[in-house]
Amino acid sequence: MAELRLDALSFAYPGADAATLSDLTLTVERGEAHALLGSSGAGKTTLLNLLSGLLPAAPGQIYFDGRDVGARAPYERRVTQVFQFPVLYDAMTVAENLAFPMRKLPVAERQGRLRDVAERLGLGAALERKPRQLTLVEKQLTAIGKALLRPDVALVLLDEPLTAAEPEHKWRLRQTLKALQHELEATMIYVTHDQTEALTFADRVSVLHEGRILQTGTPAALVADPAHEHVGYFVGSPGMNLLDGEIRGGALMIGAQTIGVQAAGTLESGALDAGAATGSDQARADVAESERVALSDGNCRIGFRPEWARITQEVPAETSLSVEVLRTRTLATDRGEAVGLVTAVFQGREIVTRQPLGRLAPGRAALQLDADRLCLFRDGRRLKRAG
Amino acid sequence: MQDNRAWLGVLPVLLIVAFSAVIPLMTVVNYSVQDIFDVNTRIFVGFDWYRETLRDPRFLDALLRQLAFSGTVLAIEIPLGILVARAIPREGRWVGLVLVLLAVPLLIPWNVVGTIWQLFARPDIGLFGQAVNDLGIAFNYTAEPLHAWITLVMMDVWHWTSLVALLAFSGLTAIPLPCYQAALMDGASPWQVFRHVELPRLVPVLVIAVLLRLMDSFMIYTEPFVLTGGGPGNSTTFLSQYLTTMAVGQFDLGPAAAFSVLYFLVVLLLCWLFYTSVLARDGEVGS
């Protein structure tokens, strides 16, 4: 297994107006499970094809363990890939499929590795069967086994490998994959548009949007400390609430109202960093401060996660932001108290909070924001903390 | 009380099937068990005509020739068709043109195909025949049975390989790109890509190609009739031509009818054997 490093990698398809990927820089540690999260069209598959060498070298460099592999053919890069649907050799048995990438190894060694991985994937009983006799999940497990069994593999790519699996199998497949990744210390790049898959599978996640990496960080960091507006609402379920606001004379305003924390007051710009008061050290370390825009007066977007705010009808609405509760949805109960999602309207925009529901009913209510945790964005980018 | 009027809806299909298949076939079966002298004089002879046909050395020779011919052209056209299909570009501006050019032989009337090759292979004025003779090989398909066979096989290959190629091409284009990409990453050789990626996925279209070519070549009539007329001697007289001689030339309706039924059964049997053998291979892996 190898360490992967991308240096200013870009790619444009011939004849295309815009670049599919621009200026990607990323390091994936040896043995790391790394997820590329992005909606369709973000350039995920293009990036995979560049890594595997199916697409020709583009401007920028790809290094495996410090060696530039841009000019190498796919086989020489020692990359294996699991595709969206199971890609197997149809006329071969499961055992033959698994053995194919190891065909240059001595037979005894081949058998040992094969049995080992097949056992862990739960394919022991299916070894002599042909792909047509397998369920979709078994086929994909075989494809995963085949990708992991290549003796000298540097990098394992997974292109939305669970797309074809039924929801009830996804969890099991993901667990199996994660366990194997950990045991074999495989460097894996896992491409998906499903944030649950990305956040539960990966050690670190890169959010890809319109051909750029917006943020790379641990799942916790992406949730607690999004570096970009898109990361804020794309990651998290439901995503971050975004309100239009303004910074005027160091105070954060929504319309004519100055945002306060429970007790009303003026916000000092120094209090506007989200990660500082809460989020772990790890979370903060993953956000490149240099990417952030300096805080200055002007329009901005105010982001807060559903669990960072609270809607209440117990305090007078005048002391905070006035909202109209539309509906509540119970998700769970915590010590007999219902916890769930509250959907409300603020200035024509729907917002969602996750909180104890209490006796909340549709109608007028107050929105209380935790000013320490607000994320401020301008032109999509996170505003830098002052000082 | 069930509504039986729905059966009326089936009636048109029954009529079409009756007129197109059952009635003509039964007429032939009817002829095959009688000796007919004139409209009023007919004698029931049972399976006599069948026995006679099966003992007829000319029938058996024609059958053997037919099997040899079908086997030869299949053995050439199927692999050659796959090779041609693999050489066709998958995308780009030339694909359409290549496909149209390939389809041209399929659009030529069969007797014209015979005529084209009859001229093309003539040792005196034909481009091919003369060229071969100029190379010092005494080539004359009107005199040498082997030369007649070579010419016939070449003509059939020229005429029908395109069909196999077009079918195989459609099968190849249906193979998802990731199958090739995975093989590339596995470092599979070109032969392994063909053997393990392409061939297994081509099986369904190849079954159709083999069945079509088997049936068609087994019933070939027009082209050899125009090209060699069944000669020299009887060396290129296939089943259909012998049958025509018998039925139309000699007006032996009884034996010709028995012949026809046997001919039909042989074609049916061959197709069934081939198809079930493919299914059996599938069944071993399918479930």
Q: Among B185, B197, B201, select the one facing A52 at the smallest CB separation.
A: B185
Provide the terminal-to-terminal Cα distance of chain A, rounded to the nearest Å. Answer: 42
Q: Among B185, B186, B201, select the one facing A90 at the smallest CB separation.
A: B201
CB pairs < 8 Å spanning A and B:
51
DSSP-assigned states of every residue in A125-172: GGTTS-GGGS-HHHHHHHHHHHHHH-TT--EEEEESTTTTS-HHHHHH
Touching check for A74 and chain B: CB below 8 Å?
Answer: yes
Residue in the block written with tokens 């990361």: A231
A81 to chain B: which residues are within 8 Å by CB?
181-182, 185
Contact B207, B185 (CB under 8 A): no
Chain B interface, best mutation among A72, A81, A128, A158, by max B CB count within 10 A: A81
Cα B233 to Cα A356, B59, B230: the distances in Å are: 100, 15, 7
Q: How far is CA B86 from the centre of its chain?
A: 23
Contact A215, A228 (CB under 8 A): yes
Q: What is the pLDDT of residue B1?
A: 56
User: What span, in angstroms and rounded, lies between the C-alpha atoms of A229 and A376?
Assistant: 8
The answer to whether the Cβ–Cβ distance between B176 and A85 falls below 8 Å is: yes
C-alpha dihedral sign at A62, A63, A69, A75: negative
User: pLDDT tens digit string along B138-156?
Assistant: 888 888 888 889 999 999 9
Q: Among B196, B197, B287, select the one facing A133 at the smallest CB separation.
A: B287
pLDDT at B18 over 60: yes
Q: What is the pLDDT of residue A238?
A: 87
Secondary-structure breakdown of chain A: helix, strand, coil percentages, each rounded to the nearest 5: 30, 35, 40
User: What span, in angstroms and rounded, lies between the C-alpha atoms of A194 and A209?
Assistant: 14
Touching check for A133 and chain B: CB below 8 Å?
Answer: yes
User: What span, in angstroms and rounded, lies between the C-alpha atoms of A147 and A190?
Assistant: 13
Joined tokens for residue B72: 């030869």
Q: What is the pLDDT of residue A284?
A: 36
Mean of pLDDT over chain B: 87
User: pLDDT tens digit string along B151-196?
Assistant: 999 999 999 999 999 999 999 999 999 999 999 998 889 999 999 9
Distance from CA of B272 to the nearest CA of A (A): 24
Chain A residue closest to B175 (CA)?
Answer: A87
The DSSP letter of residue A40 is T
Touching check for A72 and chain B: CB below 8 Å?
Answer: no
Chain B residue closest to A99 (CA)?
Answer: B186
Joined tokens for residue B263: 């001919």
Distance from CA of A115 to the nearest CA of B (A): 20
User: What span, in angstroms and rounded, lies between the C-alpha atoms of A106 and A102?
Assistant: 9
pLDDT at B114 over 50: yes
ipTM: 0.77
pLDDT at B131 over 80: yes
The answer to whether the Cβ–Cβ distance between B181 and A54 falls below 8 Å is: yes
Tally of residues, chain B: 287
**Alpha-carbon dihedral angle through residues B41, B47, B51, B53, given to the nearest 10 degrees:** 60
Mean of pLDDT over chain A: 81
Burial category of A191 from C-beta neighbours within 10 Å (exposed 0-12, middle 13-18, buried 19 and up):
buried
User: What span, in angstroms and rounded, lies between the C-alpha atoms of A146 and B153?
Assistant: 46
Secondary-structure breakdown of chain B: helix, strand, coil percentages, each rounded to the nearest 5: 75, 0, 25
Chain B interface, best mutation among A45, A48, A85, A90, by max B CB count within 10 A: A90
Percentage of chain B lying above the pLDDT 70 cut: 97
Q: What is the pLDDT of residue B168?
A: 95
Residue whose C-alpha is closest to residue B151's, from B226, B62, B218: B226
The DSSP letter of residue A228 is B
A92 to chain B: which residues are within 8 Å by CB?
196
H helix or E strand, kind and range, residue A201: helix A195-201
Which segments in chain A show pLDDT lower than 50?
Answer: 260-291, 386-387
Which of A224-238, B239-253, B267-281 comes out lowest in average pLDDT?
Answer: B239-253
Joined tokens for residue B50: 């069948």
Cα B82 to Cα B87, B168, B209: the distances in Å are: 9, 6, 11
With both helix axes pointing from N to C terminus, report the angle between A167-184 and A136-149 in degrees, rounded to the nearest 10: 10
In b/e form, how buried is each residue of B136-147, taking b as 16+ CB within 10 angstroms?
eeebbbbebeeb
User: What span, in angstroms and rounded, lies between the C-alpha atoms of B229 and B222?
Assistant: 9
Residue whose C-alpha is closest to residue A110's, from A121, A96, A122: A96
User: What span, in angstroms and rounded, lies between the C-alpha atoms of B166 and B82?
Assistant: 9
Residue whose C-alpha is closest to residue B148's, from B131, B133, B129: B129
Distance from CA of B196 to the nearest CA of A (A): 6
